[in-house]
Every structure is written in C-alpha cells, then in structure tokens.
C-alpha cells in the first residue's frame, strides 16, 4: 500500500492570510485560516480560498467554508478534505457538525485503514455509523483499483462491520458476482481466487471461489468451476460459530456437477457404473451444551465411491472412505460417558454400523484413596458389519456387551526403579457367533469374517460367501484374563564443557532409560474363530499395544504371552534459555513367547531416531529390521533443512521389503522452495518409486506477488500405475481485506479442498 494519504498535509497547508479564533463546543477553540476574504456576520463565519480549519484532532481543508456558531456546523465546498484521527474524507461538498462529528456529503471518498469508501451521498450521525448511497468499497489503494464492491446502499460501523445492499463485485471494470446482501466484519478475511487449470481427466478448466462472511458468526465460500471434459460444477461451504462464547461450530461442504464423462479413469483400478449426477454433502458439527456435555456429528454423503478421488484428491488420500457418525459425550473429572451411532450412509463403502453404542470409561484413579489404582470401561452396542453393495461377502450383526476392569500398583523402589504391575479381567457377551461345525474350507488371510492371522496360520476357516454361507451358532460369553508388568529406570550424566556452535550445543546431558513391558492374556472360554469380527485386528507394519484398554481390537483377542524390551536414549542441550532434545533414539523389540499374530520368536528390532542439531535442520529415521529372527525390513527417512531464510529443502525415503501384507517399495521424495525476493518464489517436488522405476509425481510451481493479487503457476505429472495424468494450474488470489488469506499448497485437483 502507498504511504498514508495524510502526508498530503505537508503539501496542502496554505499560507495563512488571516486567523480567526472562535468558540467551539466546550472549551475547544475553532481556528479558521484562509488566503482569501474572511467575514463574520450574524453568527456566520465565512472564508474563501485555501481554507484551513483546525478543531481538536480534526483538520479540514476546502475552497469555501462557512461556520454556524449556533448550530456548531460547517458547510464546506470545493476540494473538501477532512482529516479526523486516522480517517480521511475527500469530496466536493459536505456539512460537518463539530459536536456530533456527523457528516452529510456528496461525491465523497473516505479512507480508514484498511479500506477505502466512495459514494454519491454519505451521511453520518456519529463516529459509530456511516450510511452511503450508490457507493463503492475496496482495500486496493490505487487510482484504478484492481477490485471493488459497488452497492446501492451500505452502512459502515468502523472497526466492526460493513453491511451492503444490492452489491456487485467488480474486477477492474468487469462485473463478476452479484449478491442482494453482504455482511462484512472488518476483522475477518474476504478473498477471491481464480484458477485456470488443466488436468488430463478434466481438460482445460477454470476453478473459482469467493469467500465472504454472511453474518457476524457465519462465513461462506461459493465455488464456481468449469471443466471442459466434465462440465460445470457448483459448491457452497460454510463455517458457523454459535453457542456460549462461540464454543460450538459447524462446517458444511457441498458440491454438485453433472459429469459429462463419469467413467473417465486416470487410475489403474477399474471402475464402472458411475452416475452422471455427482455430488457430496458433508457436515461436521460440534455443539457444546455445557462445560462437560458435548454433541458431535460427522456426516458425509457421496454420490459414488470415486467422487473424492476425481475432484478432491487431497481429501481422498487422507480419508478415502469417510464415515457418518453422531456422538453425545458427557465428561467428568474421572469418567467419560459416550453415546455413539455410526451408519452406512454410502452403501458402496464397507461400514461397521453401531446403532447405537454406549461406552462408560473410568479413568485411572486411586482405589479408596490408596496406592492401588483402578481403571475400567463398559460398552453395549448393536453392531452390523455391512459390506459394499454387490460384495460376495455376507453381512452379519450382533448385540455385544463388553466390560473390562483392571488394577495397577505403581511404585518406585530403591529410589530409582519404577514398577507397575497390573491385573485385569474382561467379560464379553455376543448374541450370535459363527458355527464352526458347519465350516468346510480353510480360511485365507483375506477373509473379512476372521481375525487377520499370518499367512502360515492354517487354523482358521472360510465362510460368509455365496458359495459358502455364514452359519450362526447362537450366543456366547467370553472371559479374558490379563496380567502384566512394566519396569523402567533412568540414569543420566552431564557435560557442561561441551560447547559447539556449529552443532548447536550449549552443554550436554545424556539420559538413558531402559524399559520392559510383559503382557499375558488368557482366553479360556471361547474359540476366537467363533467370534464375529467388528473391532478387529488390522494388518500394520507397526507393533500393536500390549496394554488394555489401549489395545482396541477386542473381537480378535486370543491367548498371548509377549515381552517388550527397549531402551530410550536422549541427549539434551540448552537453546534460547530452554532445554531441548538434541537427539532422541528409542530402540525396542518383542519376545513372542506366544503371539497369535506373529509366529516368529522375535519381532523386528525397531529404532526411532530424531536428530535436531540446529533449529533449521532435522533428521528423522523410523526403521525396523529382522536382526534376531526372520521378518521384513522398513526404513522411513526424512530430512528437512533451511540453510537460509529464503531456501528450504526436504528429502524423504520410504523403504519396505518382504512384508506379507504390503507391496515392496523404495520411494524417494525430494522437494524445495526458494524465495527469490519479496515478489517471486519457486518450488518443486519429485517422487520416484525405485522398485518399479517409475517417476510417480513431478510438481513445479512459481509464485508472484502482484500487490493486490498473489499469482502462482505450476505443472504436475502423475503416473498412476501406468496411466499418466498431466496438469497445469494458474491461480490468482485476491488479497483479503483486511488481511491476506492465501494457501501456497499447489495441487490442481486440490484447489477446492476444504480444511
């Protein structure tokens, strides 16, 4: 923005030919100066030519001025300029009241940071409100603004809000958007984004959105998109704050298009039967009824399983199959009571319905105020496992009541050894089980009706398909006993003489913490294979929790005896008067005395390393290797460093080999951003899969600050399993008033993402 226009005072101040002090309101004098004729008759003071008037914090300049001491008002004409505090009014003619500071003006412009206003008629009864007829509103402080709002009527409440009637958005001289009513708080952002784009599956496209408030606590975004291969699309998003102290909020996202090519597929997974009318509706709501009672809702309705993949790629990577659920939660100091409902709103996704489920959790707390601690949880649920429409697997349901109770006795011995023994009991009632007597064929690991067992486990059996239907075996009770022991201690040593600026060391402290966790679980009353699977074990490259209630796959519970051993190393130093972790290394592995999910005697050896030698550089390595027994290898490496204020680099590598559930991978990711100067910046990212020799993704972008606008242009190339997709995106984002709201994330398919 240019220097404040108030500096014009230095240029416009006239040579004083006459000064006439007059009585103003209270004890403040009114000083009138001019280079022309000045008269004072019948209570009217009249001045001509280069008139300057000073009163308190108000300075007024005009070609002609007349002051009525009885009414305490000024009539101004010709090159009128009124400076009051940090506000400026410029016009041809105005009436100004010195007592009330009311203004009545014609063809006047006003400037109050950060906005500029102009109108045919401006009226103000006080400092608190201004009324404008046939006016314009902008934050672009140039003679020909890049954008402005033009309205037949407006009311301005300084430092609070602006209300427009019959308002049109202009970019340059071109009308873009019309609204009958607009409410603009002056402490919230108002922005526009226009993004020409090209994507192979879209063709040449134009994506646009307008973000604006429609009330003091409601903001909205209208999305208007056009894709040459897909057609037009419209969306409306809104964020609503409500309730006591605005502690409740709701987010609504909608999107609709009549897809001209719904079966156009840029991925390697085949598809078919996609409707032409494609849409989404998402509601995320949190209502805080009291300080301890809250209602949450997360509801998503989609037209088909591929909508997010086609038009909201960023969202589909994070949550490709969104749930729909509602929960009521009552929280106390030592407990949480939750009523929960989940339902299959999208029949093309597999869903475990809970209609409903009630959970009562008791936090760990002293038992009768003694040294023994108690924790527990009890739940009752009507569960339905619904497979996608057309699946070969058979849906099933059960009524389940589960209760868990555990005692722990934490203590410190010899002043350094921490021991936490535990013992617990779980009882679960199932209204239906699977009849193993009618099971014919052995299970494969992909059977969704059974726990996920290793490939070499031959003890499970398949059922639930059309060829081999599910047979129910009636109700059952399952009892589970658990016991365990956690042990740890710490030793440390300090080296104050270690001082190395290059490595960011100001003293060094080494903390070593060996730890041990033994877990025993006994399930003597029910065959795990007879239990219908809802909260089930899912394959993962990570180790499962050994403790209850942290272990949540209760329907997959089986006998186990497992010991976890590890040691944590932490190097600490001082930095900016704080103690920070310079290096952390956590090494651990499991001894599988009896583990139904891992038939090896020892698990992989895990190492988690975090190294931050200086604030601008970080190295993280999360690895596991089969040192003691057979297994698979995984190494995830991430390096982030910023060698200068304008340069940033990221390097990542994910290596996975010989895992029974996941494909081998050696994925390299390299990216960087360079800020050339205040106006220019460039960035790039590449992703290469070495096992298939495929450059999976390339992204290149350039950013340009255009004063009132921020522009970015970039290209992207994706290789989706042999199907290549190309994209180009050009984005113009209008700087918001009163502040900029621009996301530098570049993704042609993610421009309309909701956060």
Looking at residue 62, which CATH number applies to its domain?
Answer: 2.60.450.10
Residue 524: per-residue pLDDT: 78
- Which positions ≥6 away from 537 have C-beta within 8 Å? 451, 452, 544, 553, 556, 597
Are residue 11 and residue 76 in the same domain, yes or no? yes
Residue 742: per-residue pLDDT: 32
| Boundary of a domain, candidates 130, 156, 186 | 186
- With the CA atoms of 3, 6, 7 and 12 taken in that order, what torsion angle do they form, in degrees rounded to the nearest 10? 140
Q: Which domain holds residue 20?
A: 1-112
Q: How confident is the model at residue 183 (pLDDT cuts 50, 70, 90)?
A: low
Residue 55: per-residue pLDDT: 81
Are residue 60 and residue 150 in the same domain, yes or no? no
pLDDT > 70? residue 118: yes
- Which among 106-120, 453-467, 474-488 has the top mean pLDDT? 474-488
Are residue 135 and residue 101 in the same domain, yes or no? no
Are residue 102 and residue 137 in the same domain, yes or no? no
Are residue 130 and residue 163 in the same domain, yes or no? yes
Residue 495: per-residue pLDDT: 92
Are residue 39 and residue 105 in the same domain, yes or no? yes
The neighbouring-strand residues paired with 95 are 75, 104
Compare 562 and 129 and report the one with higher pLDDT.
562
Q: What is the mean pLDDT of residues 524-542?
A: 86
Region of poorest pLDDT, from 337-341, 497-501, 656-660, 740-744: 740-744
- Which among 32-46, 260-274, 518-532, 731-745 has the top mean pLDDT? 518-532
Summary mean pLDDT of the chain: 82
The percent of residues above 90 in pLDDT, for the chain, comes to: 42
Please report whether residue 141 resides in a domain: yes
Q: What is the mean pLDDT of residues 428-444?
A: 75
- Which positions ≥6 away from 193 have C-beta within 8 Å? 207, 208, 209, 211, 731, 732, 733, 734, 751
Compare 337 and 709 and report the one with higher pLDDT.
337
User: 3-state SS of 493-521?
Assistant: EEEEEEEECCCCEEEEEEEEEEEEEEEEE
Please report whether residue 718 resides in a domain: no
Are residue 7 and residue 17 in the same domain, yes or no? yes
d(CA 666, CA 688): 8
Q: How confident is the model at residue 559 (pLDDT cuts 50, 70, 90)?
A: very high
Residue 696: per-residue pLDDT: 87
3 state DSSP class of 740: coil
With contact defined as beta carbons under 8 Å apart, do 137 and 148 qualify? yes
Q: What is the mean pLDDT of residues 663-687?
A: 91
The whole-model pTM stands at 0.70
Q: What is the mean pLDDT of residues 699-719?
A: 79
pLDDT > 60? residue 26: no
Residue 448: per-residue pLDDT: 46
Beta strand pairing status for 647-657 and 505-522? unpaired
pLDDT > 80? residue 710: no
Q: Tell me the two tokens of residue 337.
A: 């009571």
Residue 313: per-residue pLDDT: 80
Residue 27: per-residue pLDDT: 46
With contact defined as beta carbons under 8 Å apart, do 323 and 300 qualify? yes
Region of poorest pLDDT, from 19-23, 229-233, 487-491: 19-23
Are residue 172 and residue 139 in the same domain, yes or no? yes
pLDDT > 60? residue 302: yes
Residue 86: per-residue pLDDT: 62
Are residue 69 and residue 175 in the same domain, yes or no? no
Residue 730: per-residue pLDDT: 74
d(CA 740, CA 134): 27
pLDDT > 90? residue 36: no
| Boundary of a domain, candidates 186, 203, 223 | 186
Residue 458: per-residue pLDDT: 34
Q: How confident is the model at residue 679 (pLDDT cuts 50, 70, 90)?
A: confident
Compare 587 and 707 and report the one with higher pLDDT.
587
Residue 598: per-residue pLDDT: 87
Please report whether residue 61 resides in a domain: yes
Phi, then psi, of 530 in degrees rounded to 5? -85, -10
pLDDT > 80? residue 279: yes
Please report whether residue 667 resides in a domain: no
Are residue 102 and residue 18 in the same domain, yes or no? yes
Region of poorest pLDDT, from 184-193, 218-227, 285-294: 184-193
> Ramachandran region of residue 445, left (φ > 0), alpha (ψ -120 to 50) or beta?
alpha
With contact defined as beta carbons under 8 Å apart, do 420 and 412 qualify? no
Region of poorest pLDDT, from 25-29, 306-310, 471-475: 25-29
With contact defined as beta carbons under 8 Å apart, do 603 and 543 qualify? yes
Q: How confident is the model at residue 439 (pLDDT cuts 50, 70, 90)?
A: low
Are residue 63 and residue 127 in the same domain, yes or no? no
Structural domains counted in the chain: 2
Region of poorest pLDDT, from 37-51, 177-191, 231-245, 399-413: 177-191
Region of poorest pLDDT, from 26-30, 411-415, 473-477, 718-722: 26-30
Q: What is the mean pLDDT of residues 57-71?
A: 85
With contact defined as beta carbons under 8 Å apart, do 31 and 21 qualify? yes
Please report whether residue 28 resides in a domain: yes
Using one digit for the tens of pLDDT, what is the confidence trace for 563-603? 999 999 999 999 887 889 999 999 999 999 999 888 889 99
Residue 404: per-residue pLDDT: 97
Residue 677: per-residue pLDDT: 86
3 state DSSP class of 395: coil
Q: How many CB atoms lie within 10 A of CB 236?
A: 13
Q: How confident is the model at residue 316 (pLDDT cuts 50, 70, 90)?
A: confident
Q: How confident is the model at residue 176 (pLDDT cuts 50, 70, 90)?
A: confident
Please report whether residue 678 resides in a domain: no
Q: What is the mean pLDDT of residues 498-508?
A: 88
pLDDT > 80? residue 4: no
Q: How confident is the model at residue 454 (pLDDT cuts 50, 70, 90)?
A: very low
pLDDT > 60? residue 464: no
With contact defined as beta carbons under 8 Å apart, do 463 and 444 qualify? no
Residue 444: per-residue pLDDT: 44
Please report whether residue 90 resides in a domain: yes
Q: Half-sphere exposure of residue 309, counting CA atoms within 13 Å on the CB side?
A: 17
The percent of residues above 70 in pLDDT, for the chain, comes to: 84
pLDDT > 80? residue 721: no
Residue for token digits 């009291």?
A: 290
Q: How confident is the model at residue 673 (pLDDT cuts 50, 70, 90)?
A: very high
Q: How confident is the model at residue 229 (pLDDT cuts 50, 70, 90)?
A: very high
Are residue 40 and residue 129 in the same domain, yes or no? no
d(CA 189, CA 50): 40
| Boundary of a domain, candidates 186, 207, 230 | 186
The dihedral built from the CA positions of residue 285, 290, 291 and 295, taken in this order, carries a sign that is: negative
Beta strands in 216-370 (DSSP E): 218-227, 231-242, 248-258, 277-288, 293-302, 325-331, 335-342, 351-366
């Amino acid at each position: 923005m240019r220097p404040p226009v108030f500096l014009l005072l230095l240029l416009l101040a006239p040579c004083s030919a006459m000064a006439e002090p007059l009585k103003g309101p209270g004890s403040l004098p009114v000083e009138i100066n001019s280079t022309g004729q000045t008269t004072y008759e019948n209570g009217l003071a009249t001045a001509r030519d280069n008139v300057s008037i000073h009163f308190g914090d108000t300075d007024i300049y005009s070609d002609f001025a007349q002051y009525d001491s009885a009414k305490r008002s000024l009539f101004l004409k010709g090159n009128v300029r009124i400076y009051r505090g940090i506000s400026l009014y410029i016009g041809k003619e105005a009436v100004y009241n010195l007592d009330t500071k009311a203004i009545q003006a014609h063809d006047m412009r006003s400037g109050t940071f950060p906005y500029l206003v102009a109108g045919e008629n401006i009226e103000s009864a006080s400092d608190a409100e201004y009324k404008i007829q046939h006016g314009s509103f902008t934050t672009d402080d140039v003679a020909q603004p890049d954008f402005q709002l033009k309205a037949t009527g407006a009311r301005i409440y300084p430092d609070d809000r602006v209300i427009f009637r019959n308002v049109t958005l202009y970019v340059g001289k071109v009308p873009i958007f019309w609204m009958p009513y607009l409410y603009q708080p002056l402490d919230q952002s108002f922005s526009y984004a226009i993004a020409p784009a090209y994507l192979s599956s879209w063709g040449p496209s134009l994506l646009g959105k307008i973000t604006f408030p429609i009330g003091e606590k409601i903001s909205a975004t209208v999305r208007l998109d056009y894709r040459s291969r897909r057609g037009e699309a419209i969306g409306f998003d809104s964020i609503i704050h409500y309730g006591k102290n605005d502690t409740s909020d709701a987010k609504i996202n909608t999107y609709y298009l009549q897809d001209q090519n719904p079966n156009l597929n840029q991925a390697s997974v085949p598809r078919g039967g996609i409707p032409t009318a494609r849409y989404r509706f998402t509601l995320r709501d949190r209502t805080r009824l009291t300080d301890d009672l809250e209602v949450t809702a997360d509801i998503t309705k989609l037209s088909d399983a591929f909508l997010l993949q086609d038009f909201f790629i960023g969202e589909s990577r994070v949550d490709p199959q969104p749930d729909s659920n509602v929960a009521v939660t009552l929280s106390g100091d030592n407990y949480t009571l939750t009523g929960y409902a989940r339902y299959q709103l999208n029949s093309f996704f597999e869903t475990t319905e809970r209609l409903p489920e009630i959970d009562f959790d008791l936090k760990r707390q002293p038992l009768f105020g003694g040294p023994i601690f108690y924790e527990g949880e009890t739940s009752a649920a009507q569960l339905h496992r619904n497979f996608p429409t057309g699946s070969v697997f058979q849906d099933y349901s059960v009524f389940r009541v589960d209760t868990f109770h555990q005692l722990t006795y934490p203590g410190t011995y010899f002043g350094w050894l921490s021991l936490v023994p535990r013992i617990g009991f779980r009882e679960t009632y199932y209204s239906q089980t699977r009849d193993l007597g009618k099971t014919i064929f052995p299970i494969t690991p992909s059977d969704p009706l059974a726990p996920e067992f290793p490939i070499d486990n031959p003890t499970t059996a398949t059922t639930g398909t059309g060829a081999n239907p599910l047979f129910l075996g009636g109700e059952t009770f399952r009892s589970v006993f658990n016991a365990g022991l956690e042990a740890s201690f710490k030793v440390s040593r300090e080296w104050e003489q270690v001082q190395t600026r290059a490595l960011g060391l100001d003293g060094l402290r080494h903390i070593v913490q060996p730890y041990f966790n033994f877990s025993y679980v006994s399930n003597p009353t029910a065959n795990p294979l007879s239990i219908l699977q809802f909260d089930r074990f899912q394959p993962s490259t990570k180790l499962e929790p050994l403790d209850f209630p942290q272990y949540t796959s209760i329907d997959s519970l089986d006998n186990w005896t497992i010991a976890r051993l590890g040691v944590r190393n932490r190097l600490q130093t001082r930095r900016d008067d704080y103690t920070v972790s310079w290096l952390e290394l956590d090494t651990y592995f499991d001894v599988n005395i009896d583990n139904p999910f891992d038939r090896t005697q020892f698990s992989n050896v895990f190492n988690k390393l975090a190294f931050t030698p200086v604030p601008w550089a970080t190295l993280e390595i999360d690895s596991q290797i089969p040192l003691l027994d057979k297994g698979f290898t995984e190494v995830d490496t991430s390096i982030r460093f910023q060698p200068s204020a304008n340069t940033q680099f990221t390097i990542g590598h994910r290596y996975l080999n010989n895992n029974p559930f996941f494909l081998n991978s050696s994925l390299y990711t390299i990216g960087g951003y360079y800020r050339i100067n205040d106006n220019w910046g460039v960035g790039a990212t590449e992703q290469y899969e070495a096992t298939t020799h495929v450059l999976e993704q390339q992204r290149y972008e350039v950013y340009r600050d255009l004063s009132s606008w921020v522009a970015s242009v970039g290209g992207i190339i994706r290789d989706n399993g042999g199907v290549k997709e190309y994209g180009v995106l050009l984005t113009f984002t209008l700087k918001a008033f009163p502040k900029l709201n621009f996301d530098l994330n570049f993704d042609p398919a993610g421009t309309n993402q909701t956060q």
